[in-house]
Amino acid sequence: MSGHSKWSTIKRKKGALDAKRGKIFTKLIKEIMVAARMGGGDIDGNPRLRSAVNAAKTENMPKENIERAIKKGSGELGDAIYDEILYEGYGPGGVAVLVETMTDNKNRTVADVRHFFAKNNGNLGENGCVGWMFDKRGVITVEAVAGLGEEQLIELALEAGAEDVVTEEDSFLIYTTPEDFNAVVEQLEKSKIKMSEASILMVPKNTIEVTEEKTASNLLRLLESLEDHDDVQKVHANFDIPDEIMEKLS
């Protein structure tokens, strides 16, 4: 689980989430549209759409943007067709990387993804080459703030159906099964607990420690290049970088 935790912490410290708010909204809108196209525009009857809307609310997306994306996806405002493609490969140091994409041009996307891997000493692999190293989990991040009791949060999350709650330096990570994810998110919302992130992610079963500075630098550059691409929705990797190496790269 520390693989996801490390990457999320790095992004927060680098300010990437705030600096790329527009790109985050674009990716969330795509997910809402595809979810609505595949399962209909009824949030209560479409679990994937409900998850996408919850993620958008966590990022403070305006309500009208969410409603418009649902209407576009369900065909009320015209069709917008995206293909979902999962790419798998190895980054520097043998780190396993999963890349979730939504694209209207498969040739463009695969060429760009392959280029990013090659440029940063990695290689794009065949389907299934690394996917077995990850488990699909709901991951909810709650920032540690004054007035939020650790025991109270853990009890609330577990009662709502969470599998585990991990305490970190400045936040709590709540893990759920994909099936229980929405119930936990909704319970946290009812309890007025603010979530800084809430998504269904691929969490690594084990992590690879990257202790060489150049390798770590190439790996982070690969992950950032992939996440910055308009067709890429999410990037998952099974790495851990020691704090002393991160300090040198910051």
The tokens describing 214, both together, are 């150049």
Residue 49 pLDDT > 60:
yes
Render pLDDT for 210-228 as a digit per residue (tens, 0 to 9): 999 999 999 999 999 998 8
- Label residue 121 left, alpha or beta by phi (over 0 means left) and psi (-120 to 50 means alpha): left
Domains of the chain in start order, with CATH, are: 16-73 (1.10.10.200), 84-132+206-249 (3.30.70.980), 133-204 (3.30.70.980)
User: What is the pLDDT averaged over residues 40-49?
Assistant: 88
The predicted structure's pLDDT at residue 2? 46
The predicted structure's pLDDT at residue 90? 97
Residue 57's contacts (CB-CB under 8 Å, 6 or more residues apart) are 66
Residue 13 pLDDT > 80:
no
**Which residue did the predictor score with more confidence, 100 or 47?**
100
The predicted structure's pLDDT at residue 14? 55
pLDDT class for 55, splitting at 50, 70, 90? confident
User: What is the pLDDT averaged over residues 83-106?
Assistant: 94
**Which residue did the predictor score with more confidence, 243 or 81?**
243
**Which residue did the predictor score with more confidence, 80 or 243?**
243
Do strands 123-124 and 83-90 pair parallel, antiparallel, or not at all (unpaired)?
antiparallel
pLDDT class for 16, splitting at 50, 70, 90? low
CB–CB of 17/199 below 8 Å?
Answer: no
The predicted structure's pLDDT at residue 20? 62
β-partners of residue 171 are: 143
Residue 138 pLDDT > 70:
yes
Residue 243 pLDDT > 70:
yes
Residue 148 pLDDT > 80:
no
User: What is the pLDDT averaged over residues 223-248?
Assistant: 90
Render pLDDT for 63-88 as a digit per residue (tens, 0 to 9): 999 999 899 888 876 666 788 899 99
